[in-house]
Structure 1
Amino acid sequence: MIRSATLAAALTCTTIATTAPVLADGQLSYTADAGKMGKMQMTESWQGDALRMDIEGMDAYMILRGAEIYSVTASGGQVMVIPLSQLKNMGAAAGQETTQQDQTGVVFPQEINDMRATGETREVAGINGEVFEVKWIDNEGAAQTDTAVLTDNALLLEHQKAKLRFIRAISDEPPNPLLMDMQARGLAALSFGDRFRVTDISDDAGPAGNFELPAEPMNLGNMSNMGQP
């Protein structure tokens, strides 16, 4: 069974991208607010059309290959590879399709009231960025104001291209308004309040084997049909 923390963490990311193909490989580490689960340390690596997401302290990760996202978990020496599209289809068929952010307590923007540069600059993870003040309404209707550090760093923008594909594949929903605003400006986030902060970025994606599936994907259709005549 996929761990809910893994799925929820994928939905807390505060970056955005265009739909152009990924041209450069790399690796990004960051901290993110995962709602009820607190702060998470994340590392995302991308190579070609594959994006791998690892959560510190968990024997599980997710990987986007082509148009499919797989959950990979290890327990008792056994590795399970689960296509998330099958999980979504099973949930919808059972009438259990709900918004993951609402389940996990993740706060995210529903509306951007104002986003303007302050004229200041700040360095995050060795990269200089421009400081913005962002006024927004969250998914519970509360007004929020945060300081964001944004950059046009090429490697971060390449990461965003991969991440947008991931977000669309896992949620079938468009990015939130804050992400759309950053996309329009051609910028990526180095930090956003205390909710997101890049800690390291590199053009080394790691071994090619990290982007291969370690076992054959499970067919959950067979499981859902168990007990039926």
Structure 2
Amino acid sequence: MPLPRISQRLLLSISLLALLGACASPEERAAKRQLKLERQEQKAQRIVDRANDKKEQAVTDPVARQKFAPDELLRAFASCDSTMFKVAAQYKDELAAYWPIATKGDIGNILVPDRGSPDKHFASARNSLTMLNLPITGYFDEVMTLGTASSPNYWWGFFTPLSPRDTYRILSLRLPELKRLRADKDGAYVRLDRWDGNAWRRMSNPASFHGMPTDTAERVLIIDKSDQVAYPGTRIACSLQGPVPAATLQSLRPDLQ
């Protein structure tokens, strides 16, 4: 059966383009590749420029700053160090629209009624908060001891009504460092660092993140299912577990001082 005329023309065009490409000299093909690379670089630079413009606007425009502050807080949180608490102080006025904020010098934190209480270490988010396009329902900040001989465990982070998988999908697009989290058999996404006496070392087997007593200081970033009835969905948590040296604890959680 003969091909329709339009199909014949399409095939002829494709064949002609392939022939022209095959006939191009190595120099011409290299020039085309270089041009394509330059266009990709220009596009990437435009994206960076737009992001920088938004950031600069957020510094001076109160409305933009209000929207920008929660995103910056969540970006800083992902490091599981003092950065988040410095950002909380920097944007204390804007973040006060969502939570009570306490500051001391250049350190700030979201206030919860009682870090040591199983029922009072939460603070609900106000005003339909989103952070990096993720809906956020609350914040938690807990200090707990799992036995008389164990060191305190420190947990802090956020709640979202989404599933762990959807939470990871959204955040990993906006926080490239989260792509280093490993999925475990329970559906959680985990990053585990272990203190070797001088520095934090990334571990490939996150075996201790469930809050079991450990003889080694560990720092965990985890996205897993929330176990709080008042905050169903997912928790995005940082944790310090085991015998964290006092100086290290102070550097990572200066808000505790």
TM (normalized to structure 2)?
0.23
Q: Answer 1 or 2: higher relative contact order, Cα 8 Å, separation at least 6.
A: 1
Higher-Rg member (1/2): 2
